[in-house]
Amino acid sequence: MRGCATRGGFGCLPSPVDRLNVTPMQIAGRSDAPWDHLFVFHFLSAERDDWIGDRLSALLSREADSAGVRAHDVQWSAKAGRCEIAGRFLDPETAGALLEAWNAPEGDAAFMCYTPNHGIATVSGGQMDWFGLICFQCSNAGIGGAEATLHPPVPNRLLPDGAGLEDHLLAHLPERPFALRS
Express each pLDDT in 128-179 by its tens digit: 999 999 999 889 999 999 999 876 655 688 899 888 999 999 999 998 888 8
Buried b (16+ CB within 10 A) or exposed e, 154-174: bbbbebbeeebbbebbeebee
Q: 18: pLDDT confidence band, cut at 50, 70 and 90?
A: very low
Per-residue pLDDT at 104 exceeds 90: yes
pLDDT at 22: 52
**pLDDT tens-digit series, residues 116-131:** 999 999 999 889 999 9
d(CA 117, CA 129) in angstroms, rounded, equals 20
pLDDT band at 28 (very low <50, low <70, confident <90, very high): very high
Q: How many CA atoms lie within 13 A of 160 on its CB side?
A: 16
Average pLDDT value for residue range 98-115: 87
User: How many alpha carbons fall within 13 Å on the CB side of residue 84?
Assistant: 11
What percent of the chain has pLDDT above 70? 77
**ω into residue 155 within 30 of 0, thus cis?**
yes
Enter the pTM of the model: 0.81
Report pLDDT digits (tens) over 63-96.
Answer: 886 445 666 788 888 766 688 999 999 988 889 9
Q: Stretch 96-110: mean pLDDT, rounded? A: 89
Q: What is the mean pLDDT of the chain?
A: 80
| Cβ within 8 Å of residue 182, ≥6 positions away | none
Instruction: Using the predicted structure, report yes or no on whether residue 21 has a pLDDT greater than 70.
Output: no
Length of the chain: 182
pLDDT at 74: 87
Residue 117 has φ and ψ, to the nearest 5°, of -130, -5
pLDDT score of 128 = 94
